[in-house]
Structure 1
Amino acid sequence: MATNFLSTANPFVPSSSSTRVYYNPIKCSVKRELTLCKGCNPHSPIVTKRGLSISFLTSFVLSLAGKNANANAAILEADDDVELLEKVKRDRKKRLEKQGVISSSKQETGYLQDLVYKLSAVGQALEKNDLSAAGSVLGGGTDTEWVQRANIAFNKLSSSPEEMTEVDTFNSSLASLISSVSKNDVESSKIAFVSSATAFEKWTSMTGLASQLKGL
């Protein structure tokens, strides 16, 4: 029976003369790739010449971009330095011109010194709620001689819109002060006095006269 089984098994084995070989492209391709990658780390990236070229080009471009950015920053910084230097020169020139005007305005500086004394006397009177004493210093209105002289000095020594704004605030507050004192309104008088004195102090600071006047 064993001989019969072997003899009957022959038909299942193709003879050499009738053997056909079928080419499987997918199988061959897989086999080829496995052969090429044999011995390589499967987790390592595949490095190609094209990849190296792209990486080098990217690094080069980024390097140039960084250099350009640094160069542009240096140019902007230089421009800022030049602009700052020009501003310092303009400010210094303006201060020198202002000092020259102040030095040649002894009479106007005297008017302002008198204004300081007047405001100081009024402030002391208001601290004591003595509106009569404050009124005798202020006078009956803004047309008094000391007020007119102070405005002559304001107009000559003011050189900017900001300074003239403080002058307007001073005159407006001074008018309110004189009116409140004449009405015996202590609280309103004190408020108006603080407003006028503050505006005057700001103006002297802007014009550089604060150090020229005594009592500030």
Structure 2
Amino acid sequence: MATSFLPTANPLFLPCSSSSSSSTSSLSPAAFNPRKNHLRSNITTCKALSDPPIAPASRRGLAISLVTTSFLFSLGGGEIGGANAAILEADDDVELLEKVKKDRKKRLERQGIINSSKTEKGYLQDLVYKLSEVGQAIESNDLPAASSVLGGSTETEWLKKANLALMKLTSSPEEKTEVDTFNSSVASLISSVRRNDIESSKVAFITSASAFERWTTLTGLVEVLKGL
């Protein structure tokens, strides 16, 4: 591309000639300056020979040029480069709109799964009630009462059903992380209660309840389940 801007031979750049000496005698002394008139004569002659003829612009051509320039300036806030920025912003808007559509579609699909999972919602609602009972017992330092609800292992029936519901309604990696945290914390909770370790039981309970609450927020079930 750079080579297209190199100067080419121009036949209009001809040697300048001066022949003004014969015509200066008729001028008055006050208006005559030999040196200045000689230079002016040379410049005029060179300009006439070197400059290519300029075609007069039509009014229609000038009008179109002005309209086009004004339009480009209006797009760029006064800079022609702003037109490119406007195009880029439009592309960003399209991408954002597509993302919003996909997110909305995903939420609707998730809502449809939740609405049709009545059994799983029942398991999770039972989980909320059971965790509430365990929390009240631990707050009262009544670990035997907490143990009677939790059972001796994670194989307790209500925990098994709750875990099935959690796995079925989990779709994203973030949700899966919260489910894993919940399950491991519940195992620690059961172990701490069986050891009659009140402090460890409180820590494990808080971790379990927090993980479950975050999961319900991610899935949208926080607005469906009661007692949260």
2:136 corresponds in structure 1 to: 124
Q: 1:78 aligns with which of 80, 85, 90?
A: 90
Give distance in 1, aligned partners of 2:195 and 2:136: 19
Matches within 5 A, 1:1-216: 67-216=79-228
TM-score, length basis structure 2? 0.66
Ranked by relative contact order (alpha carbons within 8 Å, sequence separation 6 or more), the top structure is 1
Give distance in 1, aligned partners of 2:211 and 2:81: 48
Structure 1 counterpart of 2:100, one-letter code: V
Q: CA deviation at 1:101?
A: 0.3
* Structure 1 stretches lacking a partner, 5+ long: 1-31, 34-59
RMSD after superposition:
1.8
Give distance in 1, aligned partners of 2:81 and 2:154: 63
CA deviations on 1:158-210 (whole Å, 9 max, x unpaired) are 11111011000000000000000000000000000000000000000001101
TM-score, length basis structure 1? 0.69
Give distance in 1, aligned partners of 2:128 and 2:172: 22
* Structure 2 stretches lacking a partner, 5+ long: 1-34, 37-68
Structure 1 counterpart of 2:113, one-letter code: V
Give distance in 1, aligned partners of 2:182 and 2:195: 20
Give distance in 1, aligned partners of 2:227 and 2:145: 20
Number of corresponding residues: 156
Q: CA deviation at 1:80?
A: 1.1
SS at match of 1:142: coil
Following TM superposition, the consecutive aligned residue runs of length 4 or more in structure 1 with deviations greater than 4 angstroms are none
Structure 2 counterpart of 1:144, one-letter code: T
Question: Which one has the largest radius of gyration?
Answer: 1
CA deviations on 1:103-131 (whole Å, 9 max, x unpaired) are 11000000000000000001101111110
Structure 1 counterpart of 2:226, one-letter code: K
CA deviations on 1:1-52 (whole Å, 9 max, x unpaired) are xxxxxxxxxxxxxxxxxxxxxxxxxxxxxxx89xxxxxxxxxxxxxxxxxxx
SS at match of 1:210: helix
Give distance in 1, aligned partners of 2:146 and 2:135: 8
